[in-house]
Structure 1
Amino acid sequence: MQLHQANDDRVVEDEQAAADKLHTVLQLRAQIQQLIDKMIVEVELSNCIDIALRCVLMGETAEIKEGIKFLTRCKLFEITGAETAIRSMCSLVWRPSADVITELIDAAEDMFISKLDGNEKASERDKSTVENLMKAMHGATEMDRPSIEEVIYLLASVGNDDEGGLGRHRKRRHIETNVITRLWAIALDNSTGGTNKKIDALRILYPISRTEKGIPEARTRIRSLQKKLMDEPAVAVEALRIISILNTPTKQEKGSIRFIARCSAFIRTTRCLDPS
C-alpha cells in the first residue's frame, strides 16, 4: 500500500515538473517573440526617421509639429538614428515662428531635463539631466552645434526674465542649479584625460552662461576658466568662449555705475589672460 502511494506521489511530481518545464518554455518563447517584435518595430521606426526629419525641416507648421513629436518619441525610446536627427532638428530654433519654437522647446525639455519618478532622488534626476545634455552635445557637427546651444540657452532661460518670448503652453521645468554645478565640475576638472567630456561640458555651459543667472555664476569661475587656457587647445578655445561673454551686462547692471566699474576691473583682469 505504501509502495503504491509512493508511486502515485512520484507520478504527480513528474507531471508537475513536466508542467513547470512546459510553462517555462512557453514563457521563454513568448519573451523571444516579444523581443523579435520590438526589433522589427525598432527597424521600421528607424527607417522612418530620415523621412520624418525631412518633413520637420521642410514641411508646413502642422507637419513640423507632428514630426517633432514623432522624433521626440523615437529619441526617448532610443531608436537608432534618433539622436542624430534630434541634433539636426534643433535648427528649427531659428525659424521665425513662435509656435514652432515653443513646440521644439517643449520637446527638448522632455528629452533633456529629467523628471522625478516615484521614489527617485533629486540627485539621480540631476545626474540623468547632465547625461542627457552631454549626450546631445557629444558628436555634434559644427553645423548643428550653434542650434543645440541656442536650444540649451532657451531651456536655461526658463524662470529668468530673458525667456526669449517662449509661449507658456505648459508649466516649464528649468535646469536645476545642481545640474549646472555638476557641469562646471566636469568642465573644470584638473585631472588628466577626459578631454572630450570637458569640451562638451564647456560647450553646454556657454549658452547657460549667457542667461541672466548664468553670467554672474560664470564670473565667479573666471580664475578657473583662465587656468583652462593652459590646457589642451580644444579645451582652451571653449573656455575662452565663455570668458569672452563675461563682460556682458545683465539687465540689472545695464546703465549702472557699478557695472561700469566692474567692466574696467574685468578688462584689467583678463587683458593678459594670466592663469597663474
Structure 2
Amino acid sequence: MFRRRPPRSVSADDLLTTLGRLTAQARAGAELQRARVELAQALQREMLPAALPQLPGLRAAAGYAPARHGLDIGGDWYDGFTLPDGSVAFSLGDVQGHDVEAAAFMGQIRIGLRAVATVAADPGEVLSRANDLLLSVDSGLFATCTFLRFDPVTWELSSARAGHIPGVWATSDGRCGLAEDAGGVPLGVLPGETYPVTRRPLTKAGAFVLLTDGVVEGPSFPIEAGLAEATRRVSIRAPHGDPAAVAEAVMGVAEFTGHADDAAVIALCFDRAARGPE
C-alpha cells in the first residue's frame, strides 16, 4: 500500500517571492493603463477647439467633463468653425468605445467633418460624405453626431443627425422642447447612408443646445428624465442670452445622473433683433 507524500510546506520566503512578482505585474499593468489614459486625455484636450465662432446676434459656448473613471476617457467631442460662405458650423458627437483608439477616431471625425463642410454646405450631405470617408479608413468604430449650420443672411439654423440624441431648444416667449428631428444611422456603419435635414428659421430670441448622452443619462437617471431636466434648465436661462450660463446649467445635469461617461455640450444663443431681412 502506497502512502502519499505530504504536501511541501510553503515557506515565508516563497510567499514573499510570489507576492513580489504579483505586485510587480500589477504595478506594470497599472502604469501601462495610466499611460494610455494620460495619452487619451492629451489627445482629447488638444483636439477640442480653444474657441467657438461668434457672429453678431449669435453667441456660442461649450462645456466638457471627462469621465469619472479613467478607462472611459476619449469618446465625446464638440467643434465649431466658419465656412467659406460666411456661415458657421457646429458639430457634437460621441464615439463608440473609450480610450486612445476612441480619442484618435474622434479626431478623424472632427477633421473629416471640417474638410467635407468646406465643399458641401448642406448638413445632410456633410454627414453622408463624412460617413463614407470614415468607412473608407475601416477603423471598426462608429460615432453618433449632430451637425448644425447657421446662415447669418437668412437667419436659419439647419441640422442633421446621425444616430445622436435630440437637442434642446427654448425661446424668449416661454416655449421649449426637444429637437426630435428625423435622422440616419451613426457614422461609420452603413455606406451610402442619407441624413434628412431640418431647417429652423430663428424668428424669436432663444437658445439651441446640443449635448451628449453622458450629460443626461447615468445610473441615477434614465435618459428621458435627464432630457426633461436639461430642457427645464435651458428654458429658464435662454431669455438671458448668455450661452456660457446655458452650457454650465445643462452640464450640471450630469451631476444628478451620476454619470460615468464623458459629457459635452454646445449652447447657441440668438437674438431676434439681429435677424436678417424677411
What is the TM-score when the length of structure 1 is the normalising length?
A: 0.30
Larger Rg belongs to: 1
Higher relative contact order at CA 8 Å, sep ≥6: structure 1 or structure 2?
A: 2
Instruction: Please identify which structure carries the higher helix content.
Output: 1
